[in-house]
Amino acid sequence: MAKQLPLTCPGHTRPVVHLGFSNITANGGYFLITACKDGKPMYRHGHTGDWIGTFDGHKGAVWGASLTMDASLAGTGAADFTAKLWNTTSGDEINTYAHPHIVKTVSFSNDNKSFATGCVDQVIRVFDVVSGNKEPTFHTKLSKPIKATVWDGKDNGILLASAEEGVVRKYDCRTNTEVQSVELSSPSMVTSVDLSWDSTIVTVAHGDCVSFLQSDSLKVIHTHQFPSIHYSASLHPDKSCFVAGGEDFKLRKCDFVTGNELESYKGHFGPVHCVRYSPDGEVYCSGSEDGTVRLWQHQVGKTYGLWKNNSTTE
């Protein structure tokens, strides 16, 4: 079997805590953003991990980062009690949204018109990107600090969110109402929520479990348990398998239905905080406590990006 040779993306100096891909853009490429406790979110080519630029302006650890589907805008949330919008072409700051506490998560609706933030003050806020208004158009308070916000790709008014309470909730931001919720079986808090590229399945990492929910009903499809805490998980675009990482430094690729481990790699030197599949499914990206970002091949040995006819065997 060909040996997995991940690409290491240099630049960060402290733990990498969040990352996100854009969708495939008009020119056929896609992009990657990484959030780090060094306060320097970085923008990269998704195929290769090559650095494009750094969004410079936060005065504290950056906990959340997101790109619009077309990669025209970037959003970041930080320990300096702000969330920021950025122009990805120029690198210029477009807007700053003040918060009363640390901003842990940010996300864009698919039409690029709405920007959601989740804060340690337990409040979810939604801002109108088009108007630039710094007052939220939607806000709701949960019982614990917010851990994740993800927009429903099929409906720009629907937001999925979870806090440290272990419940995934769905909100209609046009009517300011909670429309659905599901309490997960694990007693541990949710650490990651990811929506599949076709917007049909929600992947949730919680404690030592990874659960998959139908996005329309929030019905649990599968729950798989692991021997250690897993902080993040992401489903392959064809929904055949998923990757997950956590406390034991490993990245595991597992069967979607059975949860059986297909491959595992220990390339990081610290816990894995975040992992995401690319929109074409060719690579997945991981960020770790060791301060590194790594790109891994889904099909090991395939010629793709910077990987060239790898014939090395284990």
pLDDT tens digits for the chain (314 residues)? 578 889 999 999 999 999 999 999 998 899 999 999 999 999 999 999 999 999 999 999 999 999 999 999 999 999 999 999 999 999 999 999 999 999 999 999 999 999 999 999 999 999 999 999 999 999 999 989 999 999 998 999 999 999 888 899 999 999 999 999 999 876 568 999 999 999 999 999 999 999 999 999 999 999 999 999 999 999 999 999 999 999 999 999 999 999 999 999 988 999 999 999 999 999 999 999 999 999 999 999 899 988 875 544 33
- Number of structural domains (the chain) is 1
276: β partners? 285
Coil, helix or strand at residue 262: strand
H or E element that contains 297: strand 293-297
**Full-model pTM:** 0.94
Burial 68-80 (b: 16+ CB within 10 A, else e): bbbbebbbbbbbb
Q: Domain for residue 56, yes or no?
A: yes
Q: Domain for residue 272, yes or no?
A: yes
Q: Give residue 312's pLDDT.
A: 41
Q: Give residue 311's pLDDT.
A: 42
Q: Domain for residue 1, yes or no?
A: no
For residue 138, what are the CA distances in angstroms to 5, 82, 133, 161, 250? 44, 17, 12, 13, 38
Q: Give residue 187's pLDDT.
A: 58
Q: Domain for residue 303, yes or no?
A: no
Domain harbouring 291, CATH code: 2.130.10.10
Q: Domain for residue 108, yes or no?
A: yes
Q: Domain for residue 305, yes or no?
A: no
Q: Domain for residue 2, yes or no?
A: no
Longest CA span, the chain: 56
Q: Give residue 185's pLDDT.
A: 78
Domain that holds residue 226: 7-297
Q: Domain for residue 304, yes or no?
A: no
Q: Give residue 104's pLDDT.
A: 96
d(CA 72, CA 113): 12
